Structure formats: C-alpha cells, structure tokens
Chains A and B, each alone.
Chain A
Amino acid sequence: MQGSLDLLVLKVLSRQPKLHGYAIMTAIKRTSGDVLNAEVGSLYPALHRMEETGLIRAEWAAKDTGRRTRIYQLTAAGKRQLAAEVTRWHAVSSAINRVLQEA
C-alpha cells in the first residue's frame, strides 16, 4: 500500500536505531513473519528520499571487513512523522475493516 514502506522503515528504526539497509530489509521480513518483503529497488530510493526530507539521518560506519556501511537512525522530525503515520494507519485500517464487515 502507498506509503506503507516508509511507515515500516520508520517503525523498524524507532525500535532499533543505527541499522544499515540490509538489516532494515531483514528486520521487516522477520517481524512480519516473512509476509512482507521490502524490495531492494524500492527500499533504497525510499531511504534516500526520507534522508533528503530529513526524516532519517545517515552516517558511515566502519565494518570489521574494512568496508564502510551506511547506517540510518530516526531524527526528531522522523519520530513525529512516525506517530502521525501510525495514527493515520490505524484510522485507515479500521475504516477498511468496517467496510469489509458490512459486507
């Protein structure tokens, strides 16, 4: 659903800050019980877009292999956005549920 990837990423990061892209991907997969699968092709553009709009912050971290990796965490704006998104999600999903129960 539109915008749900952003919501998932924000939620994952709020639970556990300083994750890199692969970790975010696996976290979404794991916590959803393998139901939700974030595609690489949507995850990275979403991450970079949210970084640009200031919802998350990125920094470089050194790994044991000598490579650098980019890790992300929420900003204050990101936390506010998450709260708003969660409220909106609940409103929308309960509305959808009501429509489904009518039938």
Chain B
Amino acid sequence: MSLWSRITYVFRGDRLNHEIDEEFAAHIEEAIAAGDDPAEVRRTFGSQLRLREQSRDAHIVAWLDCLRADVVFGWRLLLKRKITTAAAVLSLALAIGACTSAFRLIDALFLRPLPVAHADRIYVLAIRIPDFNGAPLTFDTFAYPDFARMRAAAQGQAELIAASLASRTDLTYATDNEMEKGYVQYVSGWMFSSFGLQPALGRLLSANDDRTPGVSPYAVISYNYWTRRFGNDPGVLGRSVHIGSGIFQIIGVGPKSFTGTEPGIVTDIFLPAMMHPAVARDDNSWLRTLAVVNPGVPIEPLRANLDAVNLHFETERAKGWAGMSQHNIDMFLQMKLLIQPAASGVSRLQDDYRRALIWLGVLVVLVLLIACANVANLMTAQAASRTREMALRVSIGAGRSRLVQLVLVENAMLALFSAALGALFAWWAAPFVVSRINPPDNPAHLVLPADWRVLVFGLLLTLAVTLLFGLAPALRASSIQPVTALKGGEEPRSRHRSMYALIAAQVAFCFVVLFFAGLFVNTFRHLKSQPLGFEPHDLLLLETVAPHGQPPESWSQMADTLRAVPGVKDVAIAGSPLLSLNNWSGNIGVPGIPRNDQWGYFLSISPNWLGTVKMRLIEGRDFNPTDSFPGQAIVNQAFIKTFFNGADPLGRTFEKINPSGSHQLCQVIGVVPDAAYSSLHVPILPVAYVPVRQMDSKGVLNPAGSGVFLLRTSGNNPLSLAPTLRRLVAKTNPAFRVSNVQTQQELVDNQTIRERLLALLAMFFATVALLLAAIGLYGVLSYSVLQREREIGIRIAIGARIGSIARLVTAQIFVSVCIGAAAGIALGMASVRYVQTLLFGVRGTDPSMLIAPAVVLLAAALLAALPAVLRAARINPSIMLRAE
C-alpha cells in the first residue's frame, strides 16, 4: 500500500477499523466452523482492541493520525471558548495584518527587483559632497556631457544608462487647449535592450534613436499607460503626442511588467535622452545614471575610474564660475562618486519614505509583540484550568512531545485563523496607505502584487507568532507533574512570574509605541501650525504657460480679465507659487559689507501680490507697474539679518551674483515679515521679492514663458471656478495656456503629507497597543483574583479592609507596570535619536514627551485594574468558604 493510501486512511479511520474487525470476525467464524471451541477462539484474540490498534498503526501514518486528532480536539476547544478565541484571533489578526501590510509596502518600494534581466547587476551613481555648508550633501543627478564621458570610460566593464526623473508633464494628443498630464521619462535608447525587454506592440527605442540631439522624435509608451489611456487599442502606433515644444510619434508599447525605473511612479511615456532640451548643457543636471555592470567586474576600480572622470569634468566646469567664492568651489570639488546597488530601482519616494517606513515597521512589530504577549497570557491562564486534563494525559501514558504537539497545534490553528483574517486586512490596508502618499490628484503608483513573496512572508510570520505565544505554554503544559496536579496541589509560582514578566514587556512596548506616536503627532501639529506669513485659504493658483513668451503687459492684461470674473476678489502674478518646491537662488553682495557664502532666495511677483496673498508690508512700499528686476526689491527680515547685519536696508542696494559672474543690482524699497518659501521643513530662508518685469543685461524686457496667476476668491470652493477660468484664458488670448489649477491650501497640505500619514498610522497603532495592553492587564488581574478567591475570602472574614485587599490584588501588577514603564522610557530614550530626522519642532528628550505617554498608560492600567479589584472586594466570605 502506498504512502498516499496510508495518508487517506488517516481521514477514513472508521472504515479502516471496520475492515480490521471484519477480518477478525471472519477468522473466528472460520475457526468455529473448523470445530474449535468458540470461547477458546475468542480468548486467543486477547484484547481485540489492542490488536486492532497494532494493525491500524501498520496501515496509517501514525504522526498524521495524531495530528488529525489534535486538530479535531483543538477545534472543539476553540469553539468551546468562543469569547477568548475571538479576542485572541482579532488581536493577532490586527497585528499580523499590520505586519503584512508594512512588509508589502517595504517590499514594493525597496526589496522587489525590477522586472528586467540581471536586476542584481544594476547600480546607480550618486555624488556625495562631504561638507557642504557644514552638512554632507548627496545628490544623484548628472549633466548629459558628464554622463557621456563616464559611459565612454566604463565601456567594456559596464553599460551606463541615462534616465531622467520621471516628471508629470503637460502633453496633448490634439490641440494645446486639451492638455493632459502624463509621466514622461527621458531614457537612453539602449536601456530597453540592456534590460532585456521585449515590446508588447511595435518596437522599443534603440541605440540608433539616441545618437544625435533632436533628430529622433519617437516615443514608447508603457503597457500600463496603454491600458489606462488607450484601452489597449493597437491603433495607438503612429499617433503623435505634443510634449513641451516637440511632437513625438508613438512607435511601440513596453512590456506589461515594466513600469519604469522609479518605484512609486508608473512612467507613461519614454523619450530618447537625446530629445531632452538640456542634453547639450553641462550646467543642467537632469539625469540619473544607472549602470548594468558586466558579470565579474569588480565594483571599486570601476567606481574609482568613474569618479576620476566625473571630477575632471566638474573641475573643468568650475573654472567658469567667476561669481562663486573659492571656498564654495573647493567645497564642491571635494565630491566623491558613489556606486550603489539599485536592483529595485531608484526613486524620490524611497528617499522620502525610507525612515518613515522603517519606523512604521518597528511600531507594527511592537504591536505584534504586545498581541503575542496577550495571547500567551490568555493561553497560560487557560492552561491552568487544564492542569488536571494534562496530568491525566501524562498518567495514562502520553509522552511530553505529544503534549507539546497538542498545545502547539491548538495555537497554530489560532494563528492560522488570525493570519487569514490578517491577510484580508493587509489586502485592504496596503493600497490604502499608498493612496495616502502624495497629493490626492497625483497618488503614488506602487505595484503591490500579492504573490509568493507576500505569501512566504505571511507563512513565516504565522509560524513565528505561533512559536512566540505558543511555545512557552506548550512546554509548561508538558512539564506537568501529574502527582501534584491530580492531588489538586498548588501550581508552581513560576507560572505567575512569567505572566507578570509578559505584562511588564507589554507595558514597555506599549510605552514606546505611545511615545513615538506622541512624537509624530506633535511633529505634524508643529508643521501644521507653522506661521506661513501669508493666507492660503481661498487662494486659487492658475499655473500658466505662454509657449512663445509674452511681454509683461499681456500678463497683466490677462490678470485684469480674470479680476472681472464674479467670485474673484483680487488677482496677482508670480513666477511660481509659494511652497511649490521651486528654488531660485544666488549669492548676495552688499556694498560695504564683507560677502558671506549664504544663498539668497528670489521670487518674482507683480504689484499687489502682497495684498492678494495678504502679506503685511512692515515698511517701505509695494511695487508699482514700472518697477523691474534688476532695479527694485522687497526683502524679508531674515534677508536683512543675513546680509545687512540687521541694519535698516530701506534705500540701500544689494547685488545678486550669478555663477557666471554677472551681477544684478537691486534697491530695497520695502520690508515684509518672514514667510514660508519653498518648504515648511527648513528654517526661514532669506528671500528677496523682485518684480515680474524682468530685463536682460542690455536692458531689454524679457518675455515671460511661464507664471502663475493668484486669485483671491470669495466662494467656499475656489476649484469650482477652474473650468470657467481655463476657458476664459484660452478665449482671451490663445497664446496663453493654463497648465495646472490648484489651491494654495493644497500646496500647504502637501508639505505635511508624510507627517500626517505617520501621525495617523502611529495614532492608530498606539490605540491598538493601548487597548491590547489594557485587555492583557485586565485578563491577568481577573485570573489572579479568581485563583486567590479563597485566600481573599479568608482575609475578608478575618477583617481585612478593602484598601488592603486592593493592595494585595494589585501590588504585583503595579510593580510590573512600573518596571515595564521604566524599561519603556529607557528604550524610547535610546532609540529617539534614530527618528530625529523625521521630527520637526519636537525634541525626543523633552520631558513632556515622556510624561504624556506615561500618564496615559497609568490611566489605562488603573481602568483595567478596576473590575478585578471590585470583584475581589465583593467576595462574600461566607459563600466562598462554604463552597469550598
């Protein structure tokens, strides 16, 4: 008989028993027919049951049979204790689900290799400047001429691939007035073949499409975009798309699995790097350099080789920087080239969320540990009520390992149910978190497949959880001494000790989670209440482009047209919106004051911009329509402090010194308070506001190609005006095109997305952790009161007061909570410096940050202890003692 039949017999045990019995019956019948004495024949069979067991063991896989019996028994037990089971399954499910969600996110963003050939041989180059204004600075973008030299130097050792940062770009398949957004990425033509990718349709870009600047207007679209935008229509081949000032012809669709090189962004359109407008410029760093290193090539010599090429390039370039101080140039040239593994791609999302996700992972693991401790305590309490059963099993011959298996199987079933429920939770939660990353109109696209990687993780996690909460109770159950247990003797003190140790651990972990949650929530609150210096409510931003450039008069005429729209109270123009991460900077020189190496920041604004954004003028005047840049400027207080040594600057002049050495002279005509500029995360920057009317070095007016109209509206929902305004702009002057409409409030909110996400999730986990810890505390206390009912009864009978009973019941647990809290404080203090980069305006060592979680924990502990204490106090000694 095969193994398979032995396995199937495990689940058809009755039939097997029946067959064995039938054979024996036939034997007896035969013997009697042959004339033997019936009683004698039956006697020879001895204990038929034992014989049957022996034969049965020959027929089936014995351990599997035991397992089956354990599963059936475990299932009955779980069903019998519905409430405990539900509590355990729910808390574990929540924790396992959260862990799996965190794994899915971390896996998708950092671990999963790109779906290309030789992903393990892909590296990315980066530059580190060891001491840039006191702090190390790392960046990973290069200018194309630099890239071309490095590629030539790496020939034979590695293939270097240029890939621009995928950027959300205006594009259209029809006229300029029907613009849409798409993620466009300029890549080296040989990227697709180096990655071993095959087209789903048409052809992919090749090295031939990427030899000469500007001559190959071809585009490859990603499969994902093909499905989303064109419904997989094969007719897409040959269509042309307008991007910037170029027209590109679609020649193919990429493979289904490939979504670009940046996790978090699905690239829509790939263009040849040679078509990038700045491909010939050595002062515009716009591309990442990926390297597919040939097998067996050592990394360090390759790095040193590329480092030398890059340094030579930058040294040549720095010779032209007349306007930059020698100190800054020397700093800059201390740069070192790094080469880092990039099997899973490179993206800004990785940089932004690396630490945040790691810390979320830590919180989630802590919650998991708390849940495990909870279930372990539940199991221990239950094991206590099963002492007699276990003792009985040992006495009738069950081996220790069988008992361990019995308890472990029961726990594994609990863990499996939790894992199934947790999987459901993770299935929902991971995409939910991703949808909360990035602004709502431009959510991150993280590919989150639920494949074998996630499955294996889930199974390993379930196994680990089972061992974590189940092994100790199982071992304890097996080490039972039947003699003492069956006599009804006192169980060993050690059981209580382990329960209290678990309580202390729970409290410690819970404290850490609460502490971190407090830090993240306060960080978010601080950022949120950061004084902006302007009023973002009801401010609508119309980002507008004029592809061929328009003189300042046309821009202000358009502003006048917009001002006449009902619901619009005020209109102004600026070069870019505030808090849009745009930086325009330069060195500043003030006559009579020695130059420092700090940067000054600039924003071009129209007259009445101050009034429209509601920025107060401290002294001086606003711009008038004839002011220009160079010419006049309004500066903030940080600017005065940084460059005028705090002296009154009104009427004085400063120069903007550009890297090329050219100077632009400005007279300060007004002073405004400090306000946020490009980011809420950095300290207030020295900013000079200059007129949108800009002149070149010969004094000729520059036609502006892009700008933003700021509209102060009176309605509740400024965005409802958007369609009207778009049409109005197109109708009034076809040379203008609205490329993006958003509110200033959205830009402010975008600044705090990561912090809000962290605060939200940390709060959620803190609530869960607190709830679990409180339930755990409550469970252990009620159990210990139950165990000591008789003792308490006697104490009450001989006159103990409620106070002393309460002390008796809670003393031990109070000590555990205190030890746990102390350990939690130590843990929190030790780890807080690793989260400091995620914090803003909050110091981890601040006592108030430690006191708040401690108070919350203590309150929760008191609340959890109350029912048990009441119960102890209500014990009626006469009933209790009579019952015994």
Instruction: List residues of chain A with CB under 8 Å of any chain B CB.
Output: 20-23, 26, 39-41, 44-45, 48-49, 51-52, 54, 63, 65, 67-70
Residues in chain B near residue A41, CB distance under 8 A: 44-46, 51
Interface readout for B14-34 with A: 1 if CB under 8 Å, 0 if not? 000001101111110111001
Task: Evaluate contact between A70 and B26: CB separation under 8 angstroms.
Answer: yes
Q: What's the Cα separation between A40 and B19 when bound, in Å?
A: 17
Q: What's the Cα separation between A20 and B45 when bound, in Å?
A: 16
Task: Evaluate contact between B59 and A69: CB separation under 8 angstroms.
Answer: no
Most chain A CB within a 10 A radius of its CB, from B26, B31, B51, B59 = B26
Residues in chain A near residue B662, CB distance under 8 A: none
The residue from B19, B22, B24, B25 contacting A44, defined by CB atoms under 8 A apart: B24
Residues in chain A near residue B59, CB distance under 8 A: 48, 52
Task: Evaluate contact between A40 and B23: CB separation under 8 angstroms.
Answer: no
Task: Evaluate contact between B26 and A69: CB separation under 8 angstroms.
Answer: yes
Q: What's the Cα separation between A67 and B24 when bound, in Å?
A: 11
Contacts known (A40-B44, A41-B51, A51-B1); A67 close to B58, Cβ less than 8 A: no
Residues in chain B near residue A39, CB distance under 8 A: 44
Task: Evaluate contact between A52 and B26: CB separation under 8 angstroms.
Answer: no
Report the minimal beta-carbon distance from A60 to chain B, rounded to whole angstroms. Answer: 9
Contacts known (A39-B44, A40-B44, A70-B23); A45 close to B29, Cβ less than 8 A: no
Contacts known (A41-B46, A52-B1, A68-B22); A21 close to B55, Cβ less than 8 A: no
Residues in chain A near residue B6, CB distance under 8 A: 52
Contacts known (A48-B55, A49-B58, A69-B26); A22 close to B1, Cβ less than 8 A: no
Task: Evaluate contact between A69 and B30: CB separation under 8 angstroms.
Answer: yes
Report the minimal beta-carbon distance from A55 to chain B, rounded to whole angstroms. Answer: 11
Task: Evaluate contact between B58 and A20: CB separation under 8 angstroms.
Answer: no
Q: What's the Cα separation between A44 and B1 when bound, in Å?
A: 16
Report the minimal beta-carbon distance from A57 to chain B, rounded to whole angstroms. Answer: 9
Report the minimal beta-carbon distance from A30 to chain B, rounded to whole angstroms. Answer: 11
Size bracket, chain B contacts: 20 to 34
The residue from A40, A48, A68 contacting B26, defined by CB atoms under 8 A apart: A68
B54 interface hit (Cβ, 8 Å): yes
Q: What's the Cα separation between A53 and B468 when bound, in Å?
A: 40
Task: Evaluate contact between B58 and A52: CB separation under 8 angstroms.
Answer: yes
Residues in chain B near residue A21, CB distance under 8 A: 23, 26-27
Residue on B with the closest CB to A41?
B46
Task: Evaluate contact between B27 and A40: CB separation under 8 angstroms.
Answer: yes
Contacts known (A39-B44, A45-B54, A68-B22); A20 close to B1, Cβ less than 8 A: no
Task: Evaluate contact between B26 and A67: CB separation under 8 angstroms.
Answer: yes
Residues in chain A near residue B22, CB distance under 8 A: 67-68, 70
Residues in chain A near residue B44, CB distance under 8 A: 39-41
Report the minimal beta-carbon distance from A40 to chain B, rounded to whole angstroms. Answer: 5
Q: Is the interface of A mostly helix, strand, loop or mixed?
A: helix
Task: Evaluate contact between A20 and B26: CB separation under 8 angstroms.
Answer: yes
Task: Evaluate contact between A22 and B27: CB separation under 8 angstroms.
Answer: yes
Contacts known (A40-B45, A52-B1, A69-B23); A22 close to B55, Cβ less than 8 A: no
Interface readout for B43-72 with A: 1 if CB under 8 Å, 0 if not? 011100001001100110000000000000
Residues in chain B near residue A26, CB distance under 8 A: 34
Residues in chain B near residue A51, CB distance under 8 A: 1, 58
Closest 3 pairs (CB-CB, A-B)? A22-B30, A69-B26, A48-B58
Residues in chain A near residue B55, CB distance under 8 A: 44-45, 48
Residues in chain A near residue B19, CB distance under 8 A: 70
Residues in chain B near residue A65, CB distance under 8 A: 29
Residues in chain B near residue A49, CB distance under 8 A: 58
Residue on B with the closest CB to A61?
B26
Q: What's the Cα separation between A39 and B58 when bound, in Å?
A: 18
Residues in chain B near residue A40, CB distance under 8 A: 27, 44-46, 51
Residues in chain A near residue B25, CB distance under 8 A: 67
Residues in chain B near residue A23, CB distance under 8 A: 30
Report the minimal beta-carbon distance from B797 to chain A, rounded to whole angstroms. Answer: 61
Residue on A with the closest CB to B1?
A52
Contacts known (A52-B1, A52-B58); A63 close to B51, Cβ less than 8 A: no
Q: What's the Cα separation between A20 and B27 when bound, in Å?
A: 8
Report the minimal beta-carbon distance from B170 to chain A, rounded to whole angstroms. Answer: 76
Listed by A's residue number, 14 A-B pairs whose Cβ atoms lie within 8 Å are A20-B27, A21-B27, A40-B45, A40-B46, A41-B45, A41-B51, A45-B51, A48-B58, A48-B59, A49-B58, A51-B58, A63-B26, A69-B23, A70-B22
Report the minimal beta-carbon distance from A91 to chain B, rounded to whole angstroms. Answer: 29
Task: Evaluate contact between B29 and A67: CB separation under 8 angstroms.
Answer: yes
Residue on B with the closest CB to A51?
B1
Residues in chain A near residue B24, CB distance under 8 A: 44
Q: What's the Cα separation between A65 and B55 when bound, in Å?
A: 25
Residues in chain A near residue B23, CB distance under 8 A: 21, 44, 69-70
Q: What's the Cα separation between A40 and B55 when bound, in Å?
A: 12
Q: What's the Cα separation between A26 and B31 when bound, in Å?
A: 9
Report the minimal beta-carbon distance from A41 to chain B, rounded to whole angstroms. Answer: 5
Report the minimal beta-carbon distance from B22 to chain A, rounded to whole angstroms. Answer: 6
Residue on B with the closest CB to A39?
B44
Residue on B with the closest CB to A57?
B1
Q: What's the Cα separation between A70 and B25 when bound, in Å?
A: 11
Most chain B CB within a 10 A radius of its CB, from A20, A48, A69 = A48
Q: What's the Cα separation between A49 and B55 when bound, in Å?
A: 7
Known: A52-B58, A69-B30. 13 other contacts (CB 8 A): A22-B30, A22-B34, A40-B51, A41-B44, A44-B23, A44-B51, A48-B20, A48-B58, A51-B1, A52-B6, A54-B1, A65-B29, A68-B22
Task: Evaluate contact between A20 and B30: CB separation under 8 angstroms.
Answer: yes
Residue on A with the closest CB to B58?
A48
Q: What's the Cα separation between A20 and B31 when bound, in Å?
A: 11
Report the minimal beta-carbon distance from A39 to chain B, rounded to whole angstroms. Answer: 7
Report the minimal beta-carbon distance from A46 to chain B, rounded to whole angstroms. Answer: 9
Report the minimal beta-carbon distance from B11 to chain A, rounded to whole angstroms. Answer: 18
Task: Evaluate contact between B58 and A45: CB separation under 8 angstroms.
Answer: yes
Residues in chain A near residue B30, CB distance under 8 A: 20, 22-23, 69
Residue on B with the closest CB to A47?
B55
Report the minimal beta-carbon distance from A63 to chain B, rounded to whole angstroms. Answer: 7
Interface readout for B561-572 with A: 1 if CB under 8 Å, 0 if not? 000000000000
Residues in chain A near residue B31, CB distance under 8 A: 22
Q: What's the Cα separation between A55 and B831 when bound, in Å?
A: 67
Residues in chain B near residue A68, CB distance under 8 A: 22, 26
Q: What's the Cα separation between A36 and B58 when bound, in Å?
A: 25
Q: What's the Cα separation between A52 and B20 when bound, in Å?
A: 14
Residue on A with the closest CB to B5?
A52
Q: What's the Cα separation between A20 and B33 when bound, in Å?
A: 14
Residue on B with the closest CB to A22?
B30
Q: What's the Cα separation between A69 and B26 when bound, in Å?
A: 6
Residues in chain A near residue B51, CB distance under 8 A: 40-41, 44-45
Q: What's the Cα separation between A40 and B45 when bound, in Å?
A: 6
Residue on B with the closest CB to A40?
B44
Residues in chain A near residue B29, CB distance under 8 A: 65, 67
Q: What's the Cα separation between A70 and B24 when bound, in Å?
A: 9
Q: What's the Cα separation between A102 and B24 when bound, in Å?
A: 46
Report the minimal beta-carbon distance from A7 to chain B, rounded to whole angstroms. Answer: 18
Q: What's the Cα separation between A48 and B58 when bound, in Å?
A: 6
Report the minimal beta-carbon distance from A73 to chain B, rounded to whole angstroms. Answer: 15
Report the minimal beta-carbon distance from B65 to chain A, rounded to whole angstroms. Answer: 14
Most chain B CB within a 10 A radius of its CB, from A22, A41, A67, A70 = A22
Residue on B with the closest CB to A49?
B58
